[in-house]
Copies of this chain bind each other. A is one copy, B any other.
């Protein structure tokens, strides 16, 4: 039967999916999806080994209370101010569905996490993108226009640029009729969190992930902070989609990860130190970039070179991220690996140039 005969296709949602970075197998140097180069906390391992597998026959706690509570405690919040999901993509997509149901366009920068426009599309949310300044910083004033919601990644992706708390406050304060989401996926690596603003503004939602700074991309745990009213709305939407999003391993291991603050600080500090060292190398090799506060560097070296370098590196089993889009195509986004991985990367990069 040919496609033309399939009348039911008329009812199908038209989408252009987000394309995640490659997940190559085997022994490669993987600097393309901003994963942590270090393993998860030993306490995560212990938690998994202590898990009662027989419990898997039962549904998990729909509120994932143990995980939610551990997160709330760690950040000094009430349990009712925390929402958890299957990675921050799940949390963010549910935020879009829950908070952006108005008719006015939502706003986000034109260069930012490229999932925002995909979620807007899949949920039929009108949107308008605000150009970044030439130095990739936010044009805060441009966000003071009528809108149905705002989402800002801080530090931004793929630029790595962090905004000051003052800039964010200006946007949150100037838009009290909209929910403002601050996506803090990369905040642990050096940006200033918007958490202190949570007590001051009712319209603020902050999202986080365990995929980067807590070395748990494979576990799929993300979370959001907000006032109780917004978190309640978010939970209502979640309970309208899937009662049980967090499986037992995610609840147990996520809790163990958030509780091991010593290990968290140790691996985060190592990533930050390697990032700073990597900036020097890149500068020496003629790359230019804004000062990254994330676990990656978005770097450029002249025009028209990035794609070629990306391919040459891939041939050597070194994966970085290349975005074939007008403003981005002269850049490579390089995730920070271990010192050893970065040494190999720089050696091979030198050969490519």
What is the chain B residue whose CB lies nearest that of A93?
B241
Query: Do residues B99 and A243 form an inter-chain contact, with CB atoms below 8 A?
Result: no
Query: Do residues B8 and A242 form an inter-chain contact, with CB atoms below 8 A?
Result: no
Does residue A1 face the partner (Cβ distance < 8 Å to B)?
A: yes
What is the chain B residue whose CB lies nearest that of A30?
B58
Chain A interface helix/strand/loop/mixed: loop
Query: Do residues B11 and A58 form an inter-chain contact, with CB atoms below 8 A?
Result: no
Query: Do residues A57 and B38 form an inter-chain contact, with CB atoms below 8 A?
Result: yes
Query: Do residues A23 and B57 form an inter-chain contact, with CB atoms below 8 A?
Result: no
Query: Do residues A60 and B11 form an inter-chain contact, with CB atoms below 8 A?
Result: no
Contact with B along A174-214 (1 / 0, CB 8 A): 00111100000000000000000000001100000001000
Query: Do residues B56 and A240 form an inter-chain contact, with CB atoms below 8 A?
Result: no
What is the chain B residue whose CB lies nearest that of A222?
B242
Does residue A7 face the partner (Cβ distance < 8 Å to B)?
A: yes
Does residue A141 face the partner (Cβ distance < 8 Å to B)?
A: no
What is the chain B residue whose CB lies nearest that of A148?
B11
Q: A189 to nearest B CB, angstroms? A: 15
Query: Do residues A176 and B8 form an inter-chain contact, with CB atoms below 8 A?
Result: yes
Q: How far is the CA of A44 from the CA of B229 in the complex (A)?
A: 40
Partner of A57, one of B58, B87, B216, B244: B216
Query: Do residues A219 and B56 form an inter-chain contact, with CB atoms below 8 A?
Result: yes
Return chain B residues, CB-CB under 8 Å to A62. Answer: 20, 23
Contact with B along A26-59 (1 / 0, CB 8 A): 0000100101111110001100100101111111
Does residue A149 face the partner (Cβ distance < 8 Å to B)?
A: yes
Q: How far is the CA of A1 from the CA of B89 in the complex (A)?
A: 30
Query: Do residues A58 and B242 form an inter-chain contact, with CB atoms below 8 A?
Result: no
Query: Do residues B6 and A203 form an inter-chain contact, with CB atoms below 8 A?
Result: yes
Query: Do residues B12 and A218 form an inter-chain contact, with CB atoms below 8 A?
Result: no
Which residues of A113-149 have CB atoms within 8 Å of chain B's CB atoms? Answer: 118-119, 121-122, 148-149
Knowing A119-B240, A122-B240, A202-B1, the reply to whether A11 touches B179 (Cβ < 8 A) is yes
Q: A190 to nearest B CB, angstroms? A: 20
Return chain B residues, CB-CB under 8 Å to A178. Answer: 7-8, 11
Knowing A59-B211, A97-B122, A241-B93, the reply to whether A219 touches B247 (Cβ < 8 A) is yes
Which residues of A288-346 have CB atoms within 8 Å of chain B's CB atoms? Answer: none
Query: Do residues B58 and A12 form an inter-chain contact, with CB atoms below 8 A?
Result: no
Which residues of A148-179 have CB atoms within 8 Å of chain B's CB atoms? Answer: 148-149, 176-179
Q: How far is the CA of A108 from the CA of B57 in the complex (A)?
A: 29
User: Which of A8, A233, A245 is the most central at the interface, judged by chain B CB atoms within 10 Å of its CB?
Assistant: A8
| Given A15-B240, A36-B57, A57-B216, 8 new contacts (CB under 8 A) | A11-B102, A11-B179, A13-B97, A15-B236, A16-B240, A23-B61, A44-B56, A247-B250
- What are 15 A-to-B residue pairs whose CB atoms are below 8 Å? A6-B229, A7-B177, A8-B99, A8-B179, A13-B237, A16-B240, A38-B57, A40-B57, A56-B216, A58-B218, A59-B211, A60-B220, A87-B244, A119-B241, A247-B249
A contact residues vs B (CB 8 Å cutoff): 1, 3, 5-20, 23, 30, 33, 35-40, 44-45, 48, 51, 53-62, 86-87, 89-90, 93, 97-102, 104, 118-119, 121-122, 148-149, 176-179, 202-203, 211, 215-220, 229, 233, 235-250, 253
Give the 10 A-B CB pairs with smallest separation, nearest first: A17-B239, A7-B177, A11-B102, A56-B218, A39-B54, A249-B249, A13-B101, A20-B243, A122-B240, A218-B248
